[in-house]
Amino acid sequence: MSQAQKTTLTRGWRIEPRQQLSRSVKFLSIVLAFLAAMLFSSLLLLTAGVNLIEAFGALLKGAFGSWRAFMDTLARASPLILTGLAAALAFRGKIWNIGGEGQLIGGAMAGFLAFTLFSGLPRPVFYLLVLLFCFLGGALLGVLSGWLKVRFNVDEIISTVMMNYIILYFLSFMLSAEGPWREPGSFYQQTMMVPAALRFPVLFPRSEVHLGFLVALISAITVKVMLDKTPLGYEIRALGFNPKALKFKGTNISRLIMVTLLLSGGLAGLAGAGELYGVQHRLVMDLSNGLGYAGIIVAMLAGLDPLGVVLAALLFGGLINGAYRLQTVTGVPSAFVDAIQAIVLLCVLASFVLSRFQIRRVVDVESDLSSGDHR
């Protein structure tokens, strides 16, 4: 008695996850994502009946076409860098902080409190206290959401979103007719102007790029070093990869969550310092105007990399700045720019997902054993 083996070869294609994502693949995926975004944006602009060359030329010229335009783009990118860093830091640990909007407002409110307390101090000391108060104002909201999560298991998405509304209503009360911060004699919900002598200094002549941009760059470098080179950064990244293994290692997960949200909220609070002392020069109800939510988009575009956040913020700052020239030249509504931003985000996110897989040609070997008699 013996057995005869029959072998069958089957050829085909298979989608498999990549074991490691090279830099060249990452770069190529980003390039293809932006090409796809340009294609879809072009189709959108065609529906408005505009000339594509004229439209994209106006957008590009309004963002980077002159020294003044480039400086305006840097100024608009400053708060986006900080709110993007806030989101990126928390998201690296898979802590979904959606409260950058409220944390920015909380930081600005704390910064105005510093103005009422320390306006008589020398300017360098005053600026340091302002930045400290703004950081603590945002950090307080962040750590409060962290405490709710670890103490009562409240989902951080819900708590951080709710904090956005709570702090906004609190600001509305402080600026109301009965509130203590309302500018005397004003019909609007606003505080008095910060004196020119106490505003953030301008870094470049004939521009609006203020001290907040330098703070944003230093923060990006600090977060990058912290995540890559320190034990705390390792724990935050490990929390995102495998929290169970981190717990077995002996790390206090509850404390780590609260520290991460404290730092994340503090970064968003620093963005409030720039908006108060570098842009608006007073507290108003629309101080943030969506900068906290835009920071989430910036963080996702950057792949949650702190230095990539700077580049992504410059891109979005350019889109926002170029939107004014696009409207002037072509007459399209501002909503088109919001739609283009959404298209860019969706294309980049899709590229991140697709680049993590590869299509391979495979050969499957199938063996059948059949029995037969041999004499």
For 218-229, give the secondary structure using H, E and C: HHHHHHHHHHHH
Q: What rounded mean pLDDT belongs to the chain?
A: 89
Residue 24 has pLDDT above 80, yes or no: no
Residue 25 has pLDDT above 80, yes or no: no
Higher pLDDT, 297 or 98: 98
Condensed to tens digits (0 to 9), the pLDDT of residues 287-332 reads 998 899 999 989 988 889 999 999 999 988 998 888 888 888 888 8
Residue 38 has pLDDT above 80, yes or no: yes
333 in any annotated domain:
no
365 in any annotated domain:
no
pLDDT of res. 374: 45
pLDDT of res. 244: 87
Q: Which range is least confidently modeled, 59-68, 150-159, 366-375?
A: 366-375
- Specify the pairing of strand 2-17 against strand 357-372: antiparallel
Please state the three-class secondary structure of the chain as a single string. CEEEEEEEEEEEEEEEECCCCCHHHHHHHHHHHHHHHHHHHHHHHHHCCCCHHHHHHHHHHHHHCCHHHHHHHHHHHHHHHHHHHHHHHHHHCCCCCCCHHHHHHHHHHHHHHHHHHHCCCCHHHHHHHHHHHHHHHHHHHHHHHHHHHHHHCCCHHHHHHHHHHHHHHHHHHHCCCCCCCCCCCCCCCECCCCCHHHCCCECCCCCCCEHHHHHHHHHHHHHHHHHHHCHHHHHHHHHHHCHHHHHHCCCCHHHHHHHHHHHHHHHHHHHHHHHHHHHHCCCECCCCCCHHHHHHHHHHHCCCCHHHHHHHHHHHHHHHHHHHHHHHHHCCCCHHHHHHHHHHHHHHHHHHHHHCEEEEEEEEEEEEEEEECCC
Partners of 1 in the β-ladder: none
* Local confidence band at 19 (pLDDT 50, 70, 90 cut-offs): low
245 in any annotated domain:
yes
Q: Which range is least confidently modeled, 133-137, 265-269, 340-344?
A: 340-344
Domain total of the chain: 1
Condensed to tens digits (0 to 9), the pLDDT of residues 118-141 reads 999 999 999 999 999 999 999 999
Condensed to tens digits (0 to 9), the pLDDT of residues 174-233 reads 999 989 999 998 899 999 999 999 999 999 988 899 999 999 999 999 999 999 999 999
What's the domain range around 310? Answer: 79-314
Please state whether 111 falls in left (phi above 0), alpha (psi between -120 and 50) or beta. alpha
Percent of the chain with pLDDT over 70: 90
321 in any annotated domain:
no
Residue type, 20: Q
165 in any annotated domain:
yes
Helical packing angle, 100-118 and 67-92, nearest 10°: 110
pLDDT of res. 345: 79
Would you say how long the chain is, in residues? 375
Partners of 3 in the β-ladder: 371
The most distant pair of C-alpha atoms in the chain lies apart, rounded to whole Å, by 114
Percent of the chain with pLDDT over 90: 60
Residue 39 has pLDDT above 70, yes or no: yes
What is the arithmetic mean of pLDDT over 354-364? 69
Higher pLDDT, 29 or 304: 304
Residue 368 has pLDDT above 90, yes or no: no
What is the arithmetic mean of pLDDT over 282-291? 93
361 in any annotated domain:
no
Residue 99 has pLDDT above 60, yes or no: yes
pLDDT of res. 1: 46
Burial class (CB in 10 A: 0-12, 13-18, 19+), 208: middle
Residue 9 has pLDDT above 60, yes or no: no
d(C-alpha 311, C-alpha 74), whole Å: 11
Q: Which range is least confidently modeled, 110-114, 119-123, 352-356?
A: 352-356
Residue 101 has pLDDT above 80, yes or no: yes
Tokens describing residue 185: 């004699």
231 in any annotated domain:
yes
d(C-alpha 224, C-alpha 235), whole Å: 14
Higher pLDDT, 235 or 6: 235
Higher pLDDT, 335 or 375: 335
pLDDT of res. 10: 59
What is the arithmetic mean of pLDDT over 143-170? 96
17 in any annotated domain:
no
